[in-house]
Amino acid sequence: MDYSHGIKEHATRNVEDISALCARVKQSGFELDSFLKDVADLVSRQFGIANVSVAVWDRAHDSYKYRVVIGFEKEAAEAYKSITYTKTQLMDEKTYPSHEISKCTRLYLSEEHPYTEGEESSFARPGLLGMKRRSVTDSLEGDYLCFFISGADDEILGWIEASGTRLRKLPDTATIKWIELLACIVGVVIRLRG
């Protein structure tokens, strides 16, 4: 009874949701875009992330394209989905300055302008870009984390991008590790079913 119906702490709910997500991969009629949307929904719901997007390498267009965008108004979501990146652009620290959190996670801070001219319209609230950070843990418009989805030999297959939190604070260590686990799972799924 305790196992099935007991009070569930946050970690237990996370494990259950991730297990259910993994079970979907084995089902017939599996669709990658639907799976990626479920991953983004889980990240938003379980970890209090306001805006989540997932980009994947598109062989046909030889670029990374956003396949899922949630938490944005329609115009911002459309602007987001129109952005593509080459492999060279993805790791261009001059254009997209970042800070390494771990081997697969990078933090992009708003005050370092980690976007190109014209990409401002892809933010949830572009009018708030350029605000001052009062605390090192504050989450500002324009801050985002990329959780890279890796394939064989650490090839970047895509990423989960998270920005904004309901508490307006940067995600804590536990949240980052949970989303890194999801990015790892997505990498395996893309390799097997993508």
Backbone angles phi, psi at 11, to 5 degrees: -60, -40
Residue length, the chain? Answer: 194
What pLDDT does 159 receive?
A: 97
What pLDDT does 82 receive?
A: 87
What pLDDT does 170 receive?
A: 87
pLDDT averaged over consecutive 10-residue blocks of the chain (194 residues)? 61 90 89 96 94 95 95 84 89 87 92 60 55 72 89 93 84 95 96 80
Separation of alpha carbons 148 and 163, rounded Å = 14
DSSP string across the chain = -HHHHS---HHHHHHHHHHHHHHHHTSTT--HHHHHHHHHHHHHHHHTEEEEEEEEEETTTTEEEEEEEESS-HHHHHHHHH-EE-HHHHT-TTTS--EEEETTEEEE-GGG--S-TTGGGGSS-GGGTTPPPSSTTB--TT-EEEEEEE-GGG-EEEEEEEEEETTSBPPPHHHHHHHHHHHHHHHHHHHHH-
What pLDDT does 121 receive?
A: 53
The architecture (CATH level 2) of 2-193 comes to 2-Layer Sandwich (3.30)
What pLDDT does 122 receive?
A: 55
What pLDDT does 119 receive?
A: 55
What pLDDT does 42 receive?
A: 97
